[in-house]
Chains A and B, each alone.
Chain A
Amino acid sequence: MAANSPQLTLSEIKKGYGSNQILKGVSLEIAKGEFIALVGASGCGKSTLLRIIAGLDAADEGEIRIAGRDVSSTRAADRDLAMVFQSYALYPYLTARQNMMVPLAMRRYSLWQRLPFIGGLMPGRKAIAGEIAAKVNEVADGLKIAQLLDRKPAAMSGGQRQRVALGRAIVREPQAFLMDEPLSNLDAALRVHTRTEIVDLHRRLGATTIYVTHDQEEALSMADRVAVMKDGRILQVASPRTIYADPDHIDVAAFIGTPAINLIEVQVDGDGIARIGNVPVISGLQEWRGQRLMIGLRPDHAELNDTGERVGPHVRLPFTLSRLEFLGAEAIAHGTIASGVQIRVRTGSSFAEVSAGRELTLLIAVHHLLVFAPDGTRIRRQFAEARDATQGVPVHV
């Protein structure tokens, strides 16, 4: 970042309403051209943060810099950002073309040129009007909405309004795009389609984008980096791959991924060995002797086997299948392991034949296990081999 100074810097942003602290000190650096997703459950403060960046809401504390300029007390109109709203927020009484012209008209015309009636007579207005019209047409062609330009929002479908709203943001070539759940009012099929389009658009324009969503799948599939928020804090900012495979915090692990990660509580015994039921899984946890830790197991990092035969560093656990959720290409097996802990495992669809109630063996790839301390932070280390005390057999690694 040193060589390439960040496009947008947030430092220690705090915001509260009365005694309710919405943002508890958020810091974030966003590089020029980066697509960053702010993701979190509703009420985590992500939309408030976006509004503060936009200048629609004032932070109680903290500093915002855009392209090196401190804009903490600059009004929204002067921050040179564009926003796409969840409700699209198009002007209902203007056509698509007029909607897209507004941001340019407000910025390019002088006060006198904007006046009704006499504005048109002001010198220089005609040249600017030509430029604006050309720009709107160019953007509309890029978004394939040229045929919609003379319609009003009421005569458009949700997807079309969404494009016009994008167009209104794009025409201005702002310092950054802010998007507040722009896809959540679209139906499922259109949402997936538009997702790809926004990513393509970002690639083409190379514009810095901050994208707020509650949909972790959207965040993972679209963003260069994902910032996971909870309770007014950013828990982790990293690439989608890192967020998924190497989460810093149990809340990040729990929020990201479908089906959700399995979280299994384990007791660490006097020798620093964590067991699920009475099967030792991980050793070398001497620091946490006598404490309860959480182990995270992604549904795709375990395998079901009805024979129990398997070569390699895996822990074997007895698994009772309770339900199989068939999804076509794959299936999700729901079942219980020792002491009634519920587990979800992704399996091949060929598994669909297996009937409920079958006793199976769950094979866990131990190097994929995520271990979390009682405060939720990740315990990162290479775990030592755990031995099955009853049989004295090395179990893994």
Chain B
Amino acid sequence: MSTMISATQDSAGVAVVVRKRPRAARFDELSTTARVLRLVVLFIGAAILLLPYAWMLSTSFKAQSEVFSSGLSLIPQHWAIVANYTKAFTRVPMVQILLNGVFVCLAISTFQILFALPAAYALARLKFRGRDLLFGCIILGLLVPIHAVSIPLYAASRWLNLLNTYAVLIVPFTLSVFAIFQFRQVIKTIPDDLIQAARMDGMSEMAICWRVVLPNAWPAATSFAIFSVVAHWNDVYWPQIVISQNRLATPPLGLLFFRAAEAGDDYGALMAATVAVSAPLVIFFLFAQKAFIEGVTSTGLKG
């Protein structure tokens, strides 16, 4: 076992010797067998989770004849990448659909944060009559799923002539009780002195919200934005109710339209479309992973 000895100086200027044990030391102590065993278990777990994705990718490369062949093989004998992906991008306006997804998800998470942060700040830091009652209502709101209110929401959208618009995809989700709740908990932990210093420095409550609270709540905001983007990118329930045109479809809805257009038997092309729809999210997640984990650990919420 190796140890590192480093001499540092504490605040009083007294030299102190600090022994640091490198983090890898614990892993080194394990016997080879234990390490192999551990890796094997992890590998099997990862393989089980990745298999459907691998199968999806593999199918998207295969010609139709091979998809329905009796043998199981991940590597295609006859490659049909170009044919499958060309179909996926031409039968439905796939690029348009992906851009719809990006636009809708960005709009939803931006508005959610824009509305939730001041609300959460008010609930956490300002004193007003009925605040606790209001917060109770928000907690209650957490319990209501979209499915319970979808019929009234649909009726309202119809009455407002909003069906088949971007607005109807975005507006119902701009107020997130979950975001308000999560931000409130984070804002509660911001030191009182910091908010008061901002007041002394001449900031209005709104300025405090954006200039002091947002930077402090940044990890929570990022993790919330990731949750929100994932949820709304994958959402098929609400878009299916309010959208009936290809050019307004969000990615999963586009997939449904594609399957309908193909009568559901060209699995190679369907999987190519599925890859196209899920890839952006996977890439987004890989990039946002660090912020995501930080956000989850800093708010104590388990995803």
CA distance A93 to B213 in the complex (A): 11
Question: Taking A87-B193, A93-B216 as contacts, is the C-beta distance between A56 and B199 under 8 angstroms?
Answer: yes
A85 touches which one: B196, B202, B215 (CB < 8 A)? B196
Q: Are B11 and A106 in contact (CB under 8 A)?
A: no
**Does residue A134 face the partner (Cβ distance < 8 Å to B)?**
no
- Which of A33-41, A74-82, A249-257, A368-376 is near enough to bind chain B? A74-82
Q: Are B202 and A106 in contact (CB under 8 A)?
A: yes
Q: Are B196 and A157 in contact (CB under 8 A)?
A: no
Which residue from chain A places its CB closest to the CB of B202 in the assembled complex?
A106
Q: Which of A64-113 contact B (CB under 8 A)?
A: 75-78, 81-83, 85-93, 102-103, 106-107
**Does residue A163 face the partner (Cβ distance < 8 Å to B)?**
no
- Chain A residues with CB under 8 Å of B200's CB are 54, 56, 76-77, 81-83, 103
Which residue from chain A places its CB closest to the CB of B218 in the assembled complex?
A93
**Does residue B28 face the partner (Cβ distance < 8 Å to A)?**
no
Question: Taking A77-B202, A93-B216, A103-B202 as contacts, is the C-beta distance between A85 and B207 under 8 angstroms?
Answer: no
Which residue from chain A places its CB closest to the CB of B203 in the assembled complex?
A106
Chain B CB count within 10 A is highest, among A76, A77, A78, A83, for A77
Q: Are A102 and B199 in contact (CB under 8 A)?
A: no
Report B12 CB to chain A, min CB distance, Å: 7
B215 touches which one: A54, A56, A82, A93 (CB < 8 A)? A93
Q: Which of B127-152 contact A (CB under 8 A)?
A: none
- Chain B residues with CB under 8 Å of A90's CB are 197
A91 touches which one: B194, B207, B218 (CB < 8 A)? B194
- Chain B residues with CB under 8 Å of A158's CB are 11
Q: Mark B177-198, 1 if CB is under 8 A from A, else 0.
A: 0000000000000010110111
Report B43 CB to chain A, min CB distance, Å: 40
Q: Which of B209-267 contact A (CB under 8 A)?
A: 211-212, 215-216, 218
**Does residue B204 face the partner (Cβ distance < 8 Å to A)?**
yes
Report A243 CB to chain B, min CB distance, Å: 29
**Does residue A225 face the partner (Cβ distance < 8 Å to B)?**
no
- Chain A residues with CB under 8 Å of B196's CB are 51, 54, 56, 76, 83, 85, 89
**Does residue A168 face the partner (Cβ distance < 8 Å to B)?**
yes
Q: Are B201 and A86 in contact (CB under 8 A)?
A: no
Q: Are B193 and A77 in contact (CB under 8 A)?
A: no
- Chain B residues with CB under 8 Å of A157's CB are 11
Chain A CB count within 10 A is highest, among B194, B197, B218, for B197
A89 touches which one: B12, B193, B216 (CB < 8 A)? B193
Q: Which of A165-198 contact B (CB under 8 A)?
A: 168, 187
Which residue from chain B places its CB closest to the CB of A174 in the assembled complex?
B200
Q: Are A85 and B201 in contact (CB under 8 A)?
A: no
Question: Taking A56-B196, A85-B193 as contacts, is the C-beta distance between A106 and B216 under 8 angstroms?
Answer: no
- Chain B residues with CB under 8 Å of A107's CB are 202
CA distance A51 to B198 in the complex (A): 14
Report B219 CB to chain A, min CB distance, Å: 11
Q: Are A187 and B199 in contact (CB under 8 A)?
A: no
- Chain A residues with CB under 8 Å of B12's CB are 187
- Chain A residues with CB under 8 Å of B218's CB are 93
CA distance A56 to B212 in the complex (A): 17
Which residue from chain B places its CB closest to the CB of A86 in the assembled complex?
B193
- Chain B residues with CB under 8 Å of A87's CB are 191, 193
CA distance A30 to B203 in the complex (A): 27
Q: Which of A326-373 contact B (CB under 8 A)?
A: none
A-B contact pairs, 19 of them (CB 8 A): A54-B196, A55-B199, A56-B199, A75-B199, A76-B200, A77-B200, A77-B202, A83-B200, A85-B196, A86-B193, A89-B191, A89-B194, A90-B197, A91-B194, A102-B201, A103-B200, A114-B207, A158-B11, A187-B11
Instruction: List 8 A-B pairs, minimum CB-CB distance, nearest first.
Output: A89-B197, A106-B202, A89-B193, A103-B201, A76-B199, A77-B202, A93-B215, A85-B193
A interface residues with partner B (beta carbon < 8 Å): 51, 54-56, 75-78, 81-83, 85-93, 102-103, 106-107, 114, 157-158, 168, 187
